[in-house]
Structures are given as structure tokens and as C-alpha cells.
């Protein structure tokens, strides 16, 4: 039986204009597909092509299963957010855990974007104008440009940038495939391609988990679905699309470039460099600058709810919030400078430390606590997923740190 608050939420949801299954598909796809695809060839080099495919497929199956469990738990509490489910299932500690993992994940996305911008701008200046500037200065440039944008409260003003970003991801992917195909016709297939990389194979697990990290879009889009009975099938199609898209792109580029993949970003291998490549790199980088407020917004909101939740609205409160947002941006840039070309391993680390709980552990715990009564089979499956999530979280995190220099 819904509570009074849940009834109010349901009334608000009913007033929202509903979205067709086709639009839900593309909206979910927009939430799952991001610049992470441009790191995939390097990820397959680190794990090996066969092991990489296996990790991506197993992560796809597990993500789909845990998404079903999230939806089943949510069905018992219509209108509840991810954080609400954490509180309902495990009290304040559950809410805090959800907020921590969501914040760490968003900061991880921020770091990946910052490196992408800095790396591409450095490449354009060096290759196009023969001007070499340390990448740390480009990171500082990112901080100076993006931090004031994070002060904007009405983030809907930047919504258009996500649409442009999706278009640019598609265009960039097509251009990369064109250059890769041209490269193989001129130079043949890459050397040093391995099916299983014995030194860094476990790092691929975190990268595979990170590849499907779009859980934050699931519940909000469920609320506006015109045909919610088709939502689960639509989500399955989206995850299958991500699996095929990411895996085929990563494996194809890895087979073509092989051991020549020295930079985390595949865009560094686009040869010959020219106006088309420079234009795409600059356009993509500038668009990511505009999407910065949308990327960092969830983390800022969560942090501010804990620090400034009890303060009355005032200029002092606004200034303190801006200071908090500046510190978040500074942390992101600082980590980006520290990890440098190991950013792909940091993304893997983010996948194991933050995305594993968000995608696997927490939805399963929500299901155990909120979706009952459960059969013995369902409980066993849930406990197995919880155990597997903890193993990935602990063991793969330690392994990634231990093999950081490999």
C-alpha cells in the first residue's frame, strides 16, 4: 500500500508528459553511451581481445539481471529514486552509501572528460601548429573554463549540449573506423595482438563494468515511459546495443593498431592528421566543456545536501556552494594531472570501486530487502551476486592498483 508521500509522487508522475518506447530507447542509449567508447581499444589491449569480449558479455548479462532486480524493487515503491531505495532498504547508512558511490562515479566521469579535453587540445596544438605545451597546463585550462559553468543552477540551459555530444560521438566513431580501415589497407593488421594479457587482465573487469554505467537514467525514464510494460525489453535492447557497439569497435581498432595503441584515447592514432581530425577533436572538446555542468551536477547536489542542507538561503550560502563546486572541479583536475596517461586504469578503478556497487551490489540488496517475498532460488541468486560484487570490488581494486605501472 503506497504511503501518503508515494501517492503525491504518483500524482506528479501522472501529470508528466509521457514518452514513447522509441524515444525511451534513444534516451536510455544517450545515458549509457558516452566518451568511454573511445577508451575501449586500449582497454582491449590491456585485457586481451578474447578476455575483453568475455568480460563485456558477462558484464552485459549481469547488468541486465541487476537492472531487472532494481525495477522489481522499485515496483513496490513507485516514484522512489535510487537514493530513496537505499534509505527504504537499509536506512540512513543505505542512503549514505548510495550517495557516496554516485558521487565517486560522477567524479570519475568528470576526470575522464577532463583528460579527453586536455589530450585532444594538446594533440591539435602539437600536430597542427607545432606548439608543445605540457598537458597539465591544458588541465588547468579546463579547470579555469569549466568551473564557472558549474556555478549555473539551471542546468536545463545546457541540455542541448548532450544532443550535440551524442551526434559527435557517432561522427567521431565513424571517422575513426574510416581512418582505421584506411590504416589496415596501407599497413596491414597490427602487431602484438593477444587474446589474453597475463599481466593486466583483471583491469578489464572494471572497464567492462564502467562501460554499462548508465543506471542513473533508468528510474527517471521509467517514470515518463508511455508504455512501462515495454520498459524492461527496451532496456535490454539498449544494453545489447552497447555491448555490440563497444565490443565491435574496441576489438576492430585493437586488431588494426595492436601494440601501437600507446595513448588511452584511440583518437591519438588517427593518421594522417588533418583539418577533419583537428575539427572533430576541437568540436568534441568544446562540447564536453558545455556538458561539464550536467556531468558534475549530481555530485554537487549530493555533496551540498549534506554540507548546506540546514542553512537558510542567502548570499553566503550561495558563495559557499560555489566554493564547494570549485573544490570538486579542482579535485577532478588534480586527479587527472596525477594519473596522466594511466587515466584508462583510473576509469577501470572507478568501475570497480563505484560502478560495481551502483550496477550490481546495491540493486541486488534493494531486491533482497524490498521485493519480497522471494523464493529460495531468488535469494540464492541474490546472495551470489552480492558475493561476486564484493569480490570484484575488493580484489579487482587491489589488482588494478598493484599493476598500475604495467
Render pLDDT for 147-198 as a digit per residue (tens, 0 to 9). 999 998 877 677 676 677 777 788 888 888 999 999 999 999 999 999 999 9
Residue 88 vs residue 164, higher pLDDT: 88
Render pLDDT for 57-68 as a digit per residue (tens, 0 to 9). 999 999 999 999
Which of 47-51, 156-160, 263-267, 272-276 bottoms out in mean pLDDT, i.e. has the lowest?
156-160
User: Counting every residue, how long is the chain?
Assistant: 406
Whether residue 247 has pLDDT greater than 90:
yes
Per-residue model confidence (pLDDT) at position 49: 97
Cα 320 → chain centroid = 28
Per-residue model confidence (pLDDT) at position 125: 92
- Return the residue matching grid coordinates 534513444: 26
With cut-offs at 50, 70 and 90, classify the pLDDT of residue 122.
very high
Q: Which of 136, 129, 118 is nearest to 273 (CA)?
A: 129
Whether residue 359 has pLDDT greater than 90:
yes
Q: Give the predicted TM-score (pTM) of the model.
A: 0.86
Per-residue model confidence (pLDDT) at position 251: 97
- Tell me how far apart the alpha carbons of residues 239 and 228 are, in angstroms, rounded to a whole number: 17
List, in order of start, the domains of the chain with CATH numbers.
Answer: 20-402 (1.10.4160.10)
Cis? peptide before 339, omega within 30° of 0:
no
Amino acid at each position: 500500500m503506497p504511503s501518503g508521500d508515494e501517492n503525491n509522487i504518483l500524482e506528479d508522475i501522472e501529470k508528466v508528459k509521457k514518452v514513447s518506447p522509441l524515444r525511451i530507447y534513444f534516451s536510455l542509449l544517450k545515458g549509457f553511451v558516452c566518451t568511454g567508447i573511445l577508451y575501449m581499444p586500449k582497454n582491449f589491449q590491456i585485457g586481451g581481445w578474447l578476455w575483453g569480449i568475455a568480460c563485456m558479455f558477462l558484464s552485459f548479462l549481469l547488468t541486465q539481471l541487476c537492472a531487472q532486480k532494481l525495477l522489481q524493487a522499485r515496483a513496490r515503491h513507485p516514484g522512489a529514486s535510487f537514493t530513496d531505495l537505499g534509505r527504504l532498504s537499509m536506512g540512513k547508512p543505505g542512503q549514505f552509501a548510495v550517495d557516496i558511490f554516485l558521487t565517486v562515479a560522477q567524479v570519475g566521469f568528470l576526470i575522464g572528460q577532463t583528460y579527453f579535453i586536455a589530450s585532444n587540445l594538446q594533440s591539435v596544438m602539437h600536430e597542427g601548429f607545432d606548439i608543445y605545451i605540457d598537458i597539465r597546463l591544458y588541465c588547468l585550462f579546463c579547470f579555469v573554463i569549466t568551473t564557472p559553468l558549474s556555478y549555473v543552477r539551471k542546468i536545463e540551459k545546457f541540455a542541448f549540449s548532450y544532443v550535440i555530444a551524442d551526434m559527435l560521438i557517432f561522427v567521431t566513431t565513424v571517422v575513426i573506423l574510416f581512418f582505421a580501415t584506411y590504416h589496415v589497407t596501407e599497413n596491414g593488421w597490427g602487431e602484438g595482438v593477444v587474446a589474453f594479457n597475463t599481466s593486466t587482465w583483471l583491469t578489464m573487469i572494471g572497464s567492462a563494468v564502467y562501460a554499462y554505467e548508465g543506471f542513473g537514467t533508468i528510474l527517471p525514464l521509467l517514470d515518463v515511459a508511455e508504455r512501462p510494460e515495454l520498459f524492461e525489453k527496451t532496456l535490454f535492447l539498449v544494453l545489447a546495443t552497447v555491448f555490440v557497439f563497444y565490443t565491435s569497435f574496441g576489438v576492430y581498432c585493437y586488431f588494426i593498431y595492436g601494440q601501437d595503441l600507446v595513448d588511452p584515447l584511440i583518437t591519438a592514432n588517427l593518421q594522417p592528421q588533418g583539418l577533419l581530425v583537428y575539427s572533430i577533436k576541437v568540436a568534441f572538446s568544446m562540447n564536453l566543456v558545455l556538458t561539464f555542468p550536467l556531468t558534475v551536477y549530481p555530485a554537487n547536489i549530493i555533496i551540498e545536501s549534506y554540507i548546506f542542507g540546514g542553512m537558510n538561503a542567502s548570499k553566503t550560502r550561495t558563495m559557499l556552494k560555489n566554493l564547494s563546486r570549485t573544490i570538486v572541479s579542482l579535485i577532478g583536475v588534480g586527479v587527472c594531472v596525477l594519473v596522466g596517461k594511466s587515466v584508462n586504469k583510473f576509469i577501470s578503478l572507478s568501475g570497480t570501486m563505484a560502478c560495481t556497487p551502483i550496477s550490481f551490489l546495491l540493486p541486488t540488496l534493494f531486491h533482497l530487502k524490498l521485493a519480497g517475498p522471494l523464493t529460495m532460488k531468488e535469494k540464492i541468486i541474490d546472495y551470489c551476486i552480492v558475493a561476486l560484487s564484493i569480490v570484484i570490488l575488493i580484489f579487482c581494486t587491489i589488482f588494478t592498483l598493484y599493476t598500475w605501472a604495467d
